[in-house]
Amino acid sequence: MECDLVIVGAGPTGLFATYYAGFRGLRVVVVDSLPELGGQITAMYPEKPILDVAGFPSVKGRELVAGLVAQAESAGATYLLDRTATGLDHRAGPDGGVTLTLDDGTTVEAKAMIVTAGIGKFSPRPLPAGEGWLGRGLEFFVPSFEPYADRDVVIVGGGDSAFDWAQNLEPIARSVTLVHRRDAFRAHARTVEQVKASSVEILTKAEVTALIGDPDLEKVEVTVDGEPSLRPAQAVIAALGFVADLGPLQEWGIETHKRHLVVDSSMRTNLERVFAAGDITDYDGKVRLIAVGFGEAATAVNNAAVVIDPTAHVFPGHSSEGA
């Protein structure tokens, strides 16, 4: 498969890069290891209100992704989803390019590449008591709130995801209990106070020590200060964080710093024709926000466009000028 630009990562930054590459007239292929577009937002917090995207006082994750997907449609890109990029053959020089190999054997020949893979491939931290319960009452992500209506829900964790899900499920679930092994929380203080003021029961210095039911979950054992007790639960959500892994990308020869790709002000990596944008990048003063990723995507695409066609200009003019 041949193209001008291959983008690795179909999260918000990758989707905006796709749109902008289409605006620059480039043929684009997008690769992502997840089966759906949207990256971490789609996988982890599609219902969460996002407050720091310019022009949107508040926008749900799934709505932001839907808008980015619609915007990117104008690029006519080819999406290769549920496939992991495993190998990179990098060729420098005026007639150089990249060959990206995927885990299903597909190869993509491109004149340049932009890596927008966020934190890389991620997997949830397991709940020790939950082995064998995935899909039978235990979940690690909440793509939709409706399945939890009128159910007793136990959420395990003390970070932003745990409190966000507790806050959003409280109006529709029969009951929500948040279990955390410490009495301090990593979540945003304002959200913690809002959840404390709601009907959510918060148990600290506690852990879920057993899931009980046949075949599906009916109740859980929660141990608080060494004292176990049973409570009804048809759903347990383990929000214990996740393990991020750059995977094969670390073997491609791209300079990294603390699991991030080092780039310059043009979003170039140390490999010619290989750029990066979004949360995966690192440079002095880096701020990891979706809004920052959008700007980096445009910078990366514009500089890649000149590598692909040396007669092109870095700044092509404003998109409104062609409307």
Neighbours of 289 (CB within 10 A): 13
Annotation-wise, does 85 bind a ligand? yes
Residues 76 and 66: their CA atoms lie apart, in Å, by 16
**Cβ 124 vs Cβ 245: under 8 Å:** no
Annotation-wise, does 279 bind a ligand? yes
Q: Which helix (H) or strand (E) holds 218?
A: none
Residues 42 and 10: their CA atoms lie apart, in Å, by 10
Residues 48 and 51: their CA atoms lie apart, in Å, by 10
The 8 Å CB, 24+ separation contacts for 291-295 are: 291/52, 291/53, 291/54, 293/12, 293/13, 293/16, 293/116, 294/12, 294/13, 294/16
> DSSP assignment of 161-196, as one string?
HHHHHHHHHTTTSSEEEEE-SSSS--S-HHHHHHHH
Residues 252 and 232: their CA atoms lie apart, in Å, by 49
Annotation-wise, does 45 bind a ligand? yes
State how beta strands 235-238 and 227-232 pair.
unpaired
- Residue 42 falls in which region: left (phi positive, over 0), alpha (psi -120 to 50) or beta: alpha
In the structure encoding, which two tokens stand for residue 33, read together? Answer: 């290891």
Annotation-wise, does 245 bind a ligand? no
Neighbours of 105 (CB within 10 A): 8
Place of tokens 């006519």: 76
Annotated binding site: 13, 32, 40, 45, 85, 122, 279, 320
Q: Which residues are annotated as a binding site for FAD?
A: 13, 32, 40, 45, 85, 122, 279, 320
